[in-house]
Amino acid sequence: MNFPKLFSPLQIGPYQLKHRVVLAPLTRMRAEKPSLAPRPLNAEYYAQRATSGGLLIAEASPVANTAFGSPGVPGIYSEAQIAGWRKVVDAVHAKDGIIFLQLWHVGRVSHSSFQPGGALPVSASAVAISSEFKASTADGKLVDYETPRALETAEIAGVVDAFRHAAKNALAAGFDGVEIHGANGYLLEQFLQSRSNLRTDRYGGSIENRARLLLEITQACTEVWGAGRVGVRLSPYGIANGSGEPDPMPLYTHVVQALNPLGLAYLHFIEPRSSGAGRAEVNWTNVPSAMVLFRPIWKGVLMTAGGFSGEAAEAAIAEGHADAVAFGRIFISNPDLPRRLQRGFPLTPYNRKTFYGGDAVGYTDYPEHNELAQA
């Protein structure tokens, strides 16, 4: 058997995984419009990638109609969206797979064209993403990011409630758990990091204050699900969407230590080499490893993601740096990725042009490996 560590069992919360190859949460922008609910094509896509006892993390899903920054992404705040996701979950469960939903608020990584009434996006502070990055409007134009509106202190409880309500909706849709998106420069990371959080209230200033929103949302989701069915995703050294903490170790050490007592299903790190990898290839040289730095601090199951090959994933687990590895781009083009890795079958290359939007092309039309054709 190829990769014996990668294909050994793992307990995540109440779930016994049969292997440690996880589908990473991947934005694909193929929801039904205008409901922004998952449709049968989405159920087919996830079912293709489900394996008995394997974990899928469904794509980032906005927790409210104010939480969007991209067209065609599925939400988790309406009855139609719950119904659409239920069909996805049923299709995965029919193959004995396990599926979590990633809960998302983009904050300032948005544009007023996505916001109800054309309002400004919200963030921790009124700090715009620099002009080296471009925002997509609702009709697909690329423009400079607007300066967001800083959330009032009294409004923050509503953000927590939106995540709590989304967690309840995910439970109603039949998911097996949820993952909180605290990475890639989105709202929760905007609160975490000092360059985007200039607040002077209890949600700004000190590391403890900047981490407060993430921890309150995590607590809210664990009250809905139980801690063993909630994961958190972080990108300590990421630079996506204008993010980046000058010295990440103090901030993220505090966050990891604060999450430790909660008994979460897992903590999911994005390796910095992959920050922004959905948009373009990334220079991997001279970057630290999140899993190596935080493995000694985190006491629970540690998942990692970021451009891993089967060999690199096996080594990460064998060396004790991670317990599971989430695969993204090569799981897009290889729906049977676990089988291919385990049996040493060749991998189909992905087509970056079809990552976002569109229909079946580059989504559900990648074939499984045909052993008979290779004989």
Alpha-carbon gap, residue 55 to 232, rounded angstroms: 15
Alpha-carbon gap, residue 297 to 183, rounded angstroms: 18
Alpha-carbon gap, residue 272 to 245, rounded angstroms: 12
Helix (H, G, I), strand (E, B) or coil at 147: coil
Based on the residue annotation, tell me whether 366 is a catalytic residue of this protein: no
Alpha-carbon gap, residue 51 to 94, rounded angstroms: 10
Rg of the chain over CA atoms, in angstroms?
A: 19
Please state whether the peptide bond connecting residue 272 to the residue before it is cis, i.e. omega within 30 degrees of 0.
no
- Which candidate in 45, 77, 145, 186 is catalytic? 186
Q: From 98, 97, 62, select the one nearest 77 (Cα to Cα).
A: 62
Alpha-carbon gap, residue 188 to 299, rounded angstroms: 22
Task: State which H helix or E strand residue 222 sits in.
Answer: helix 212-225
Task: State which H helix or E strand residue 172 sits in.
Answer: helix 156-172
Catalytic residues: 186
